[in-house]
Structures are given as structure tokens and as C-alpha cells.
């Protein structure tokens, strides 16, 4: 039985954190288009160079770019047991194309879980967010500081963690705007398909994870 989960929410809602916990529990891979695009930038590939300025400004990259990344990733053998989608789809066009890919591939329909967090809390979280480009883990200066072993494992101490370029306040406002205008309409899109759950994204991470897990019937 295949388990396909889509975590929907504004940037900083905790999708990545919950996706990592789901990966450990369900042993199926996370598919994060943001991570894939950041990896392309780190490699300095042609794609990475093409999307860098768009990402830094807080806007969405073109649908065709992310759709192609997802198409290739979903075809991999290790993605046949299921997948945890984090940050894709982000537009109605992407959602419609994903539906077609799922139908063509005979995949089990998505369980959609929206993580709801007020925008003021999002701003606070993104301001304190820190990122380790070595292990790709995300932390927060007060809410979720890196554990002591992180500095040993990665050779990066808490003060040397990076601030993502798109976590700067100007970019954050653009990202919230993109979310409101282009991604939030997916709430109605999926509600009308009857596979939609909402989880409150405030409070301790394990409690949110318990609520997320309760949405998944296996």
C-alpha cells in the first residue's frame, strides 16, 4: 500500500520539520522542491543559476521547472512506496499536473495536511531560522537550537549556521504574498476533492506531529 502525503502551509509553518519526522516514522522519502532547488544552486548547475535570483527575491520559480524536477523524482524506484511532498505543489497548475502524474502512474491519492500558523508567528520564526548547508537541517535560535553533537558532526557551531537569503524580511513578505495569492487557493482545490485535513501549527513540535500523524490512516 502506497502512502502519499502532501504538507501544505506557508513558509515557516513547519512543513520541513514535520516531513523529517514523517520520513523517520514511515520510512518513505521526503520530496522538497525547495531543497532540490537549493541543491542545484549549491552545485552551480545551469538550473541553479537560472533560479537563484527568483528564489532570493521570494517569488516562485516557473511551474515547468519544478514540475520537471518532481516528474523525474517520482519515477525513482525508492519513491514507489510513497512520498512526503513538502513545498510542492504551490500553484493550481502544479496541483493539476500532479493529479495527472498520479493518475498516469497509478499512485494512491494524496492525503493533504495543511499546517495552519498565523502570519505574525511566521515572521517571527523566519527571522530566527538558521540553516546548516552541510546536513540541510533547519534550526531556530530560541525555539529549536542545534544539539551539541551537531557542531561535532558538521563542524558548524550554532553561531556559524546560515541565514537563508530568502529569510530576509523583504523576501519574507514576498513569499507570504506568493503563498496568499498562488498557494492558499489549493486549500479549496483539495477540500473539494475530500482528502483534506488541517492541523494547528502552534505549540511543541511533538504535539503537532501527533496531530499530523492522526491524519494518516495506513
Please give the residue ranges that form the binding site for ligand AMP (CB under 6 A).
11, 33-34, 37, 54-55, 58-61, 66, 87-88, 90, 94, 166, 175
> Is 15 labeled as catalytic in the residue annotation?
yes
> Is 137 labeled as catalytic in the residue annotation?
no
Q: Which is nearer to ligand AMP, 3 or 94 (CB)?
A: 94
Q: Return the HEC string of 159-183.
A: HHCECCHHHCHHHHHHHHHHHHHHH
The active-site residue out of 41, 73, 130, 175 is 175
Minimum distance, C-beta of residue 88 to ligand AMP, in the bound complex (Å): 4
C-alpha cell at 54: 527568483
Compute the distance between CA of residue 109 and CA of residue 81 in angstroms, rounded to an integer: 13
> Is 90 labeled as catalytic in the residue annotation?
yes
Give me the residue label for grid cell 512526503.
84
Minimum distance, C-beta of residue 208 to ligand AMP, in the bound complex (Å): 18
Question: Minimal CA–CA distance to 12: which of 207, 166, 193, 212?
Answer: 166
The active-site residue out of 125, 129, 130, 137 is 129
Q: Which is nearer to ligand AMP, 85 or 212 (CB)?
A: 85
> Is 175 labeled as catalytic in the residue annotation?
yes
* Secondary structure (DSSP) of 24-56: HHH---EEEHHHHHHHHHHHT-HHHHHHHHHHH
3-state secondary structure of 19: helix
- Residue 197 pairs in a beta bridge with 113
> Is 25 labeled as catalytic in the residue annotation?
no
The active-site residue out of 38, 90, 130, 137 is 90
Q: Which is nearer to ligand AMP, 59 or 213 (CB)?
A: 59
Strands 138-140 and 196-200: unpaired
Minimum distance, C-beta of residue 100 to ligand AMP, in the bound complex (Å): 16
Minimum distance, C-beta of residue 175 to ligand AMP, in the bound complex (Å): 5
Q: Which is nearer to ligand AMP, 50 or 107 (CB)?
A: 50
Task: Please identify every residue annotated as catalytic.
Answer: 15, 90, 129, 164, 175
Amino acid at each position: 500500500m502506497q502512502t502519499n502525503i502532501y504538507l501544505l502551509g506557508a513558509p515557516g509553518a513547519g512543513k520541513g520539520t514535520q516531513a523529517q519526522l514523517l520520513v523517520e516514522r514511515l520510512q518513505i522519502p521526503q520530496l522538497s522542491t525547495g531543497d532540490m532547488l537549493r541543491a542545484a544552486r549549491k552545485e552551480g548547475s545551469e538550473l541553479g543559476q537560472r533560479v537563484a535570483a527568483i528564489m532570493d527575491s521570494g517569488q516562485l520559480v516557473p511551474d515547468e521547472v519544478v514540475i520537471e524536477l518532481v516528474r523525474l523524482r517520482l519515477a525513482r524506484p525508492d519513491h514507489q512506496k510513497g512520498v512526503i511532498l513538502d513545498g510542492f505543489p504551490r500553484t493550481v497548475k502544479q496541483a493539476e499536473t500532479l493529479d495527472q502524474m498520479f493518475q498516469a502512474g497509478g499512485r494512491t491519492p494524496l492525503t493533504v495536511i495543511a499546517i495552519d500558523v498565523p502570519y505574525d508567528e511566521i515572521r517571527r520564526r523566519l527571522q530566527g531560522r538558521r540553516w546548516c548547508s552541510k546536513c540541510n537541517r533547519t534550526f531556530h535560535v530560541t525555539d529549536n537550537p542545534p544539539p551539541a553533537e551537531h557542531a561535532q558532526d558538521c563542524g558548524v557551531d550554532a553561531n556559524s549556521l546560515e541565514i537563508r537569503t530568502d529569510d530576509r524580511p523583504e523576501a519574507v513578505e514576498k513569499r507570504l504574498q506568493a503563498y496568499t495569492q498562488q498557494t492558499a487557493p489549493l486549500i479549496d482545490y483539495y477540500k473539494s476533492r475530500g482528502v483534506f485535513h488541517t492541523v494547528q501549527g502552534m505549540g511543541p513540535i511533538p504535539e503537532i506531529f501527533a496531530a499530523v500523524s492522526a491524519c494518516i490512516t495506513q
